[in-house]
Structure 1
Amino acid sequence: MTTAVDPYAQLRPTSPARFLYALNPLAKFVAPLPAMLALVFVRDAATPLAFAALAYLLLLIGARFTVRLAGILGLAVPLGILLIGFGLSVWTDATLVSGTGAVLQLGGWTLYAGAVQVGFATALRLGAIVVLALLPGLTTTGPDLVRSMVQQLRVPYRIGYTALAAFRFVPRFGHELDIIRQAHRVRGSHGGRGPFAAIARWSGYIVPLLAGGIRHAERVALAMDSRAFGAYPDRTERHLVPWRARDTVFVALFWLVTVALSLLLAPWGG
């Protein structure tokens, strides 16, 4: 059966090595799920580091390397771990870790090594979970995810495609807000500075933005009605997102690696 090219699937592999784009979206969501659940219960730093390294490796090999990916993996994630780790270290109850060595002293306040260990271990867990979530997040389109849920999970297409249509309102609102701002600048009604000027400026954006959203919702509703959306229990899919053998292999291998890393590294409940 020949299927048409999906006009909305903007993410496409540049080479056969970029294998994450060719996987079923559900496989990329299901595969890291046990690892993400395991990271909720572990207390050490080695396990989240191992899972984060695994996710980094898969993204660097299987995803298209872009400035956005480099910024997320090279700057946003490490900086977030450092900030969260330091914040949690400061907020850790000092009486629980007073038996460890002091790392920093400011007057009567002491930052203990145990607090730093607890804070950064928790931050690493959160960072590893985020990086694992980036596997499907950076290599999956919304339409493909909805199609896979409808085709494999048997989610009613009325729910899936209605949610997708609502989700598409977000970039639409951003585009219309930019147009409204440009129109205000052309008319010279951008206002001055200060909190009251900002409130007045944003109040001038709300009415045309809501009006544009209502018009867009009416057009979408008319387009869906003209295509008899919801008239039948099943919907003919123009673009198929099948579950292939490679999806099963990817999920199975990821689960095996998850079990191996968890058993080798994690002191559960410690």
Structure 2
Amino acid sequence: MTAITSPTKTIDPFTPGTPASARHFLYHLNPLSKVAAVAPAMLLLIFVRDLATPVSFIAFAYLVILLGARITSRSAVLLFVAVPLGIVAIGFGFSLWVDAVGVAETAPFLQIGGWTLFSGALQVGFATALRVAAIFSLALIGGLTTTGPDLVRASIQQLRVPYRIGYTALAAYRFVPRFGHELAVIRAAHRVRGHHGGRGPFARIARGWGYIVPLLAGAIRHAERVALAMDARAFGAHATRTERYLVPFRRRDVVFIVLFLAASALLFLFL
């Protein structure tokens, strides 16, 4: 497998699934441009109290994702099932905590015995839920189309984050899938040796405790190997290093930021 070193390429050949999504424009943007585009709107949404503004931003974020990202079955379930269900659950949950005295002048929505849920409380609860959903939807623009390694590399190359810190974080990020593989191996070994421990929730907890020590030992061994490899390559011995994969900040990133900020300003001003 050959490495991609051209400054016009941002695809990491070791990141599964990225080449298949090369035709969607969000994958060609610098990760920092997506953060810079959505961050002002996410911050301002904290302070809105109406229903129309967060709804419009949810629709806007969905439009950008549908046009610029590859929608998998998991992404579709997240967007069209999990988010609406979360809005309903959070909306009703927050409405139950609203002080009834402040909304007593609004029409009753639900009455159970002496308890009344007023429509004003429901509006406050769903306004909060929609703000949370709007912020989450905007975060998905980058979250669904950006890999952790590319975000680290962009931070090192554009934000001048010290590479000692950035690549240490990248090494920690690479630990996560390795832990999943090692956990599968440990579970298979326990099954082969007949260490089932019975069934039920308590048996699951007992088996989980049995996985901790082997996982910790494997993590220590892997960390030691990584540290030795970094020392052998003189990692941290120089102030700068040559990047293997470049994540450039180009004109398309500036255009995306400007257009997204302009659309966000219009939604805030006219809603």
TM norm. shorter chain > 0.5: yes
Q: Which runs of 5+ in 1 are unaligned?
A: 266-270
Closer, same or farther: CA 203–69 of 1 in aligned 2, 3 Å: closer
Q: Matches of 2:184 and 2:238 in 1, distance apart?
A: 39
1:46-71 deviations in Å (ceiling 9; x for gaps): 00011111100010110002101101
**1:31 match: secondary structure:** helix
Q: Matches of 1:9 and 1:249 in 2, distance apart?
A: 26
Q: Pick one of 108, 112, 118 that aligns with 2:114.
A: 108
**1:59 match: secondary structure:** helix
Q: Pick one of 207, 217, 235 that aligns with 1:229.
A: 235
Give matches, 1:52-201, under 5 Å. Answer: 52-194=58-200, 196-201=202-207
Q: Pick one of 206, 211, 218 that aligns with 2:212.
A: 206
Deviation of the 1:199 alpha carbon: 4.1
Deviation of the 1:14 alpha carbon: 3.8
**1:249 match: secondary structure:** helix
Paired residues, number: 264
Q: What is the identity percentage for the equivalent residue pairs of Structure 1 and Structure 2?
A: 66
Q: Matches of 1:128 and 1:77 in 2, distance apart?
A: 10
Deviation of the 1:198 alpha carbon: 3.7
Residue 40 of structure 2 is matched in structure 1 by 34
Q: Matches of 2:136 and 2:238 in 1, distance apart?
A: 39
Deviation of the 1:212 alpha carbon: 0.7
Q: Matches of 1:86 and 1:196 in 2, distance apart?
A: 33
Q: Matches of 1:261 and 1:250 in 2, distance apart?
A: 16
* Alignment pair present for 1:19 and 2:39: no
Once the two structures are overlaid, the 10-residue window that deviates more, 49-58 or 223-232, is 223-232
Deviation of the 1:6 alpha carbon: 2.5
1:71-126 deviations in Å (ceiling 9; x for gaps): 11011111111100011111211111000000110000101000110000110000
Contact 1:13 1:22 in 2 (8 A): no
**1:91 match: secondary structure:** coil
Closer, same or farther: CA 2–117 of 1 in aligned 2, 3 Å: closer
**1:168 match: secondary structure:** helix
Once the two structures are overlaid, the 10-residue window that deviates more, 114-123 or 204-213, is 204-213
Q: Matches of 2:74 and 2:206 in 1, distance apart?
A: 34
Closer, same or farther: CA 263–123 of 1 in aligned 2, 3 Å: same
Q: Pick one of 54, 57, 66 that aligns with 1:51.
A: 57
Contact 1:9 1:144 in 2 (8 A): no
TM-score, normalization: structure 1? 0.93
Q: Matches of 1:185 and 1:245 in 2, distance apart?
A: 55
Deviation of the 1:142 alpha carbon: 1.2
- The aligned amino acid for 1:44 is D
Deviation of the 1:178 alpha carbon: 1.5
Once the two structures are overlaid, the 10-residue window that deviates more, 187-196 or 152-161, is 187-196
Contact 1:8 1:143 in 2 (8 A): no
**2:207 match: secondary structure:** helix
Once the two structures are overlaid, the 10-residue window that deviates more, 189-198 or 202-211, is 189-198
TM-score, normalization: structure 2? 0.93
Q: Matches of 2:172 and 2:21 in 1, distance apart?
A: 30
